[in-house]
Amino acid sequence: MQLQFERVTKSFGDLKVIDTFDTTIRDGEIVALVGPSGCGKSTLLHMVAGLQSATGGQVKADGRSVERPAPERTLVFQEHALYPWMTLRQNVALALEFQGRPAGEAHKQAVQWLARVKLDGFEDYYPHQVSGGMRQRCALARAFIARPKVLLLDEPFGALDALTRLTLQSVLKDLIEEERPTVVLVTHDVDEALYLADRVLVFSHRPARVLEEFTLGHIPKTHDLSAFAGIRREVLSLLGIDTQAQETERQTEKGDVQ
């Protein structure tokens, strides 16, 4: 599914959050939105999901204006989006049950999807009984089970420790390769963007506009991102982090950027 942002602006009262965003995301493309905290990246994602509307301009999915949420455009939240009163299996099955599929079939598929994210054996655990990484695996299964055409990820691994984050990035990458949805990823983590995305858009502080666009292309990648050291340096420098000297000093100043 192709996504088009046509002169999209967003304000909350007098506060201008997004300053004219224009881009087209091709079917099956993986795009990462990187930028400082509170710059409106998540707002863009919520617009594609149909949870928020643009103040000006419009967001289109396959040429049709997005007006409300639909299961074909699904969103993975940062955390706490699983329902604590449901087991992992019930959480994943719910995505199908909401689409009117019979409970039996939904639960059968949920078990299969939990196995695909390596959560077999944990089907009947409640979210608070498993680790944060396992919860996000489950959230991925819940997103993918509906076979979305657009997958929106809102800092999906932001709350995880560094090592778990790398593992989950690989899990996500494999799922994307197998299912081939169009992906929009919002992240603070430049390495995560470089590892997962075909194209990286770097945003400015509020009101957000695109500072620079980096096209990496859809190529096989590992967590060894040394081939992209140049791009990485440029992105970090756009985010105000000097990679040459006095790195620690600058970093504490702009502590909101990783």
Q: Which residue has the tokens 């909401």?
A: 98
What phi and psi, each to the nearest 5 degrees, are found at residue 39? -95, 0
Query: In this complex, which beta carbon is closest to another protein, that of residue 75 or of residue 176?
Result: 75
Shortest CB 131 distance to another protein, Å: 15
CA distances from 176 to 94, 144, 173, 245, 250 (A): 21, 9, 5, 37, 35
The piece of 1-9, 80-88, 193-201, 203-211 that touches another protein (CB under 8 A) is: 80-88
The Cα–Cα gap between 210 and 233 comes to 17
List 30, 31, 66, 81, residue binding another protein (CB under 8 A): 81
Tell me if residue 4 falls in helix, strand or coil. strand
Q: Which residue has the tokens 């989950």?
A: 168
List 1, 16, 29, 51, residue binding another protein (CB under 8 A): 51
Tell me if residue 16 falls in helix, strand or coil. strand
List 1, 70, 111, 225, residue binding another protein (CB under 8 A): 70
Query: In this complex, which beta carbon is closest to another protein, that of residue 77 or of residue 233?
Result: 77
Query: In this complex, which beta carbon is closest to another protein, that of residue 100 or of residue 217?
Result: 100
Residues that bind another protein (CB under 8 A): 46, 49-51, 69-71, 73-75, 77, 80-81, 83-86, 94-95, 97-99, 126, 129, 142, 146
